[in-house]
A and B are shown apart, each in its own frame.
Chain A
């Protein structure tokens, strides 16, 4: 009986996910009439717009990840160590990005930081990039926080902290040498999720008018036939590569039992 259901579920999955994916991949290979070819991919990859926007998004993702780690690791650590009563509240706050649409946040940013405001962030490209980075950090917050918090649960935060303190360590040393290395697999999985989110993000980048990968995909999709399909397959591959890396990162550290 169970087997039958498993097969039905599998079939459903094939019809719903794999078939369209297959169709798209097949279409992306059909640029040349009559034979399969990688022409569409060649065109896309050679497009300087593609290279520029993709680089921009990757750099933005890396900056976002760095900022996210600096923000989330100490916060989650401090909440676990000193403010356990605050945890439900902090969790609630980190979940807000899931229920507040990105477009609302961006309009808020633009209203608050436009060129005639008290802090004209949108006046310069750098300022706008910083604003975009904050937006991305917010989008990745639910995943980053949860990943790090789960990582912290696996270690005895309070006792390890006291052990380090008794040997003369200050907060910086404790965070850098004790806490961060022990939540590194969790941090990495949060980082790859962030990467996947930032690469595909459209709304914020488009409304802040930054040359990111998401808006590029949209423009290409509106104007070409085969190339968008190729691009979609590429984007899809990147996302899955991130997923794979998340899986790998949990096995990354040699000090856990998972390896042995």
Chain B
């Protein structure tokens, strides 16, 4: 059995069925993100693991012990909140020591552990400050240290970076991941920011409507989305309807244009399937190394610095593609005709 095992969790608030048959087995030391739109039940799943909500059905096991009926203070979990939730009346050091004091850890050991934790988050000098004297990023790091100090079995983070500004958010996510790896602590991280989920996690759970749509590595989630929802939610996609002409070789027509997807298709001849392309998979102009060339009309050009996002019309559909900025290649003119080349294997097949 996995270290943290959620099995067939259900949660209803009255008539509102918020979490539906949610299962995942998390290995020890693994970092798992719950990713999904607002209201899909991410926080509710996390709170059930923490013991703050009681599942309507299903069970939760931590390290071989069934904790489904246990109160939050009996579960050995660490929790980090979006709002930091530091105790305003305690100094940074006292905040970090809180859990140790509750656990009855002796003075000397406690002080040593607090110093170790403050060192870990790089705030060794700020132990005597009060929370209001810290920046948001510093407060959240203290909250992390506080959660980790009593050596919990599982660390739970509910959108810990959402209240911070963009720069801190990026640096802190790297830091959180580094600390998590160093301590090897099993972690569940809730976010609605796909970049966060993809960049930090060992595995990502994409949720919609209270269900886990797909559980996989960031690479799998991004490149082989299992459902249309996952494909649409994670990253930007250009989607097309293609008509199957030969399932065995993967030949389809796209708005009359024949092309080969270079793989067998699980659909009958004449059926319509959904195919999609990531913006970064397409290339402006003709590229001999790519099998498919699509005629396009440029409709908009957005220069973003390193990346130039071009919007075109392809096969009657809006098509976004990203190119890197090159000093010798000015962006194409709006309204002009162009060709877009893509590799046959770059097409993503959309399920339901």
- List A residues at the B interface (Cβ < 8 Å): 155-156, 159-160, 162-170, 173, 177-178, 181-182, 184, 253-257, 260
Contact = CB atoms under 8 A, between A and B. Distances in A.
B78 interface: yes
A166 B77 contact: yes
Nearest to A253: B89
Contacts, number: 81
B299 interface: no
Contacts of A160: 85, 87
Interface of B: 50-52, 71-79, 81, 83, 85-90, 98-99, 102-103, 130-133, 143, 146-147, 150, 152, 156
A166 B79 contact: yes
Contact of A167 (B51, B83, B89, B146): B146
Given A163-B85, A166-B72, A257-B132, 7 more contacts: A163-B79, A165-B51, A167-B78, A168-B73, A168-B76, A169-B73, A170-B73
B88 A155 contact: yes
Given A253-B89, A255-B89, A256-B88, A166 B132 contact: no
A255 B134 CA distance: 12
Nearest to B81: A159
Given A159-B85, A253-B89, A164 B98 contact: yes
B98 A165 contact: no
A160 B90 CA distance: 12
Contact of B87 (A168, A178, A257, A260): A178
A257 B132 CA distance: 7
Contacts of B99: 167-168
Nearest to B130: A255
A11 to B, nearest CB: 43
Contacts of A255: 88-90, 130-132
Contacts of B152: 166
B102 to A, nearest CB: 5
Nearest to A155: B88
A170 B103 CA distance: 11
15 contacts: A159-B85, A160-B85, A162-B52, A162-B79, A163-B79, A163-B87, A163-B146, A165-B52, A166-B147, A167-B99, A167-B146, A167-B147, A181-B90, A255-B89, A255-B132
Contacts of A156: 83, 85
B50 A167 contact: no
Given A162-B72, A254-B130, A169 B102 contact: yes
B81 A163 contact: yes
Contacts of B51: 165
A165 B71 contact: yes
